[in-house]
Amino acid sequence: MTAPLIAPSILSADFGHLARDIRTVAEGGADWIHVDVMDGRFVPNLTFGANVVAAARRACDRFVDVHLMVDQPEHYLETFAAAGAQSFTFHPEATRHPQRLLAAARALGMLAGLALNPGTPLADAEELIGDLDLLLIMTVSPGYSGQVYLPGSDDKIARARALLDRHRSPAHLEVDGGITTDTIGGAWRAGATVFVAGLSVFGAHDPVAAIRNLRRRCAVEV
């Protein structure tokens, strides 16, 4: 099994000191920096644009992972690529032609990702497995940070892992929502490889120690 990748979500960072917070976690062991983009329509919250992605790229040398919770994500593709997004993950319900968008993301040099809400079946991803570099399983209903990990998420992660393995897909299996030292072990055992952690990192007294503790929980759960 590959080593876990910890991806702190800047949705829980201090917006007044965003570059500082990004540098702190990047230098403190974060593997990826996760940027949640919300338009106030697909989900009931409004967050960042491409300028924040550009700021994250300037602040550190970590992989910048972008998750778009927006309607018609195709309208944002080139803007986010130009800003330096290194992955482009969207929801299949948000666009009419997800395969076309995945291919376009790859053509622009980004990892192509698909995100599944808690109520979205894995079947929505199965027909697109060959076009995926990343499959994101939402373990809360998207829209806000600090939510509690939903019961049954480990089972869906395990089924997603089986789906990827059955198709011999090398895609990352990412989880987002309610990731703490209490929940990361179960998600790791179920087969997830990338862990988005917001409040449990940026809300901690010591974010660097929080990242280390999350990684340790995976190590003891092997």
**Per-residue pLDDT, 222:** 45
Amino acid found at 30: A
176 is catalytic: yes
Q: How many alpha carbons fall within 13 Å on the CB side of residue 77? A: 21
Closest CA to 77 of 91, 59, 89: 89
pTM: 0.95
**Per-residue pLDDT, 220:** 64
pLDDT in tens, 150-164: 999 999 999 999 999
Q: Is 109 helix (H, G, I), strand (E, B) or coil?
A: coil
Residues of the chain where predicted confidence (pLDDT) is lower than 50 = 222
Kindly state the tokens that stand for 154.
Answer: 């480990």
Task: Name the E strands within the chain.
Answer: 5-8, 32-38, 63-69, 87-90, 111-116, 134-138, 172-176, 194-197
**Per-residue pLDDT, 221:** 53
Q: Which of 36, 65, 133, 154 is catalytic?
A: 36
pLDDT in tens, 120-154: 999 999 999 999 999 999 999 887 777 899 999 99
**Per-residue pLDDT, 44:** 84
Q: Which of 21, 65, 154, 176 is catalytic?
A: 176
Could you give all domains of the chain from N- to C-terminal order, each with its CATH number? 5-221 (3.20.20.70)
Spatial separation of the C-alpha atoms in residues 103 and 108, rounded to whole Å: 9
* Strands 63-69, 172-176: pairing kind: unpaired
Buried b (16+ CB within 10 A) or exposed e, 175-196: bbbbbbeebbbbbbebbbbbbb
Amino acid found at 22: I
71 is catalytic: no
